[in-house]
Chains A and B, each alone.
Chain A
Amino acid sequence: MFSPANTKGEPLVSLENVGVLRSGRWLVRGVEFSVSRGEIVTLIGPNGSGKSTSAKAAIGVLKPNEGRVERLAGLKVGYVPQKLAIDWTLPLSVRRLMTLTGPLPERDMRAALEAAGIDHMLDAEVQHLSGGEFQRALMARAIARKPDLLVLDEPVQGVDFSGEIALYDLIKSIRNASGCGILLISHDLHVVMAETDTVICLNGHVCCRGTPEAVSRSPEYVRLFGSRAAQTLAVYSHHHDHTHLPDGRVQHADGTVTDHCHPDDGHHAHGHEHAHAGHEHAHEGHTHAHDHDDHHGHEHSHAHSHSGEGRHA
């Protein structure tokens, strides 16, 4: 049974009492969290609460003025920054964007673009992409390099609601497919992925943490965002189409077992769209919304019928 808590090995990155001081002002202080393989950690908080600062400290872009940041040696990071303005004078196609920080096999490039749903835009200039397409391209670029840790700073900005759901879906499938750790920064307090293992609510310091349900009910959260926000906090959850077995193999909804769960292995197909056509918003007190073990194998109308394809390496 897959539960991130059980598979936690050595954390990919961990922050201990981290503080960042700029121009005599503490942007954040006393930040503590860690991200492990296969774990999704979401940072939420109001503007200027230090979400991006904390994430940048975690990946080493900002040097903390106090506290400690420990990263696994040789940690490969994929980063989608919050703001990215590409000057019009720079001719940059999606294809060229993909190899921005390192060379990439053509196959990996296409697989990542396909996973992000923009494989048809390989040769488009990035300046011509819409906000949502651009975010997808950035995400594809980050996952194509097969990072150990994926850091997404407000990945759904400029994306409409349905696009947002699709992007969260993509994030989930990235995690499930590659087993990388994900540090997600969300500007959107209303939709926090139920896939998130830990929500860290920041306001210059860590004001509360826990599962999405626990945070949405915590008095600190309600005080920070108001009771209306807490009421409307929708935890986006949907059913899983496969389960990670303790030995690292993956059991799919159709009962087959594979060593990995790559998005292109046929078990996932493109069934996500209908798999969660009616995704549920967890209600307060719905204690099972976050339970990974509840839904597998039996709630899937789209279960694939694989014949004779039991295992493939």
Chain B
Amino acid sequence: MLDDFFVRAILAGVGLALTTGPLGCFIIWRRMAYFGDTIAHSALLGVALSLLFELNLTIAVFAVAALVSVLLLFLQKRQALSADALLGILSHATLAIGLVMVAFMSWVRIDLIAFLFGDILAVSSTDIALIWGGGLFVLAAMAWLWRPLLASTVNAELAEAEGLRPERARLFFMLLMAVVIAIAMKIVGIMLITSLLIIPAAAARRFSATPEIMAVLASVIGAAAVVGGLFGSLTYDTPSGPSIVVAALILFILSLLPLRRHRAVMQGQGS
């Protein structure tokens, strides 16, 4: 019963989930969930631009996401508005401009729903190659950035005083986010990308003793959510993107359930 498209979907989804695990951990450690949302929303502007100028979709989305990231870094330094307000403005402005542009282009007919919520069942072999290639690149870059990123998550000034370069690490991290969002858009869509970043990482927290374990566990949980969600969508004939997110949510809720053994360990530590 495993059709070709279903195998492709699983390969693509698992590849993406493995990549989003470590990034998602930093998103929650650094409290950047809204940032992830903003970059994801800006992807729609990338879609519109790629249609308008007949550019490669992934590259256009990456370019816009990267531009918005850098713009955010720049505006935050000016400290004219709070980071929160800036994110809100950029998030909805880019989304709205994208929608307006698409509406103006009466000659193209696009499936907006596919961009907003993804269509993992439609991925091609080329897409899979892109996901795994891009994913491996992102994971390698994360390994290289790990120490400065983690140190500056604890305290940026400490990291800088002790010879690491937190600003550079942060810029690279944002660019990696843009890469992942460009890759992920086709699979889970603009609206659901952040959930694939955040929910597996949050579910991994309780079972992790170190940041590194949490990153790996987040990848594993994300992959499990992809597989579970896809089988669920096949069984119940539900949309695949949202089904993956629901599966991740179920795993997160399971992670919150009190486990007797775990609690005993916690108490042992506390005393």
Contact = CB atoms under 8 A, between A and B. Distances in A.
B258 interface: no
Contact of A81 (B79, B155, B214): B155
A276 interface: no
Interface string B1-33: 000000000000000000000000000111100
A87 B202 CA distance: 12
Nearest to B160: A61
B29 A145 contact: no
A92 B155 contact: no
B208 A81 contact: no
Given A91-B210, A124-B269, A100 B163 contact: no
Given A87-B31, A124-B269, A92 B161 contact: no
A145 B158 CA distance: 13
A128 interface: yes
B210 A78 contact: no
B88 interface: no
Interface stretch (B34-42, B108-116, B145-153): B145-153
A124 B154 CA distance: 17
A84 B210 contact: no
Interface in B201-223: 201-202, 205, 208-211, 213-214
Interface residues of B, number: 30
Interface residues of A, number: 28
Nearest to A85: B155
A25 to B, nearest CB: 13
Interface in A55-91: 56, 59-61, 76-79, 81, 84, 86-87, 89-91
B162 interface: yes
Contacts of A102: 147, 162-163
Interface in A256-287: none
Contacts of B161: 56, 59-61, 77, 79, 151
Contact of A89 (B28, B147, B160, B162): B28
Nearest to A149: B161
A6 interface: no
Nearest to B29: A90
A101 B210 contact: no
A128 B154 contact: no
A306 interface: no
Contacts of A89: 28-29, 201-202, 205
Interface in B115-169: 147, 150-151, 153-155, 157-164
A84 B158 contact: yes
Give the residue among B153, B157, B213 with the most A Cβ atoms within 10 A: B157
Interface of A: 23, 56, 59-61, 76-79, 81, 84, 86-87, 89-93, 96-97, 100-102, 124-125, 128, 145, 151
26 contacts: A56-B161, A60-B161, A77-B161, A78-B162, A79-B162, A87-B28, A87-B30, A89-B202, A90-B154, A90-B211, A91-B210, A91-B213, A92-B154, A92-B210, A92-B211, A93-B210, A96-B211, A97-B154, A100-B147, A100-B150, A100-B158, A101-B151, A102-B147, A102-B162, A125-B269, A151-B161
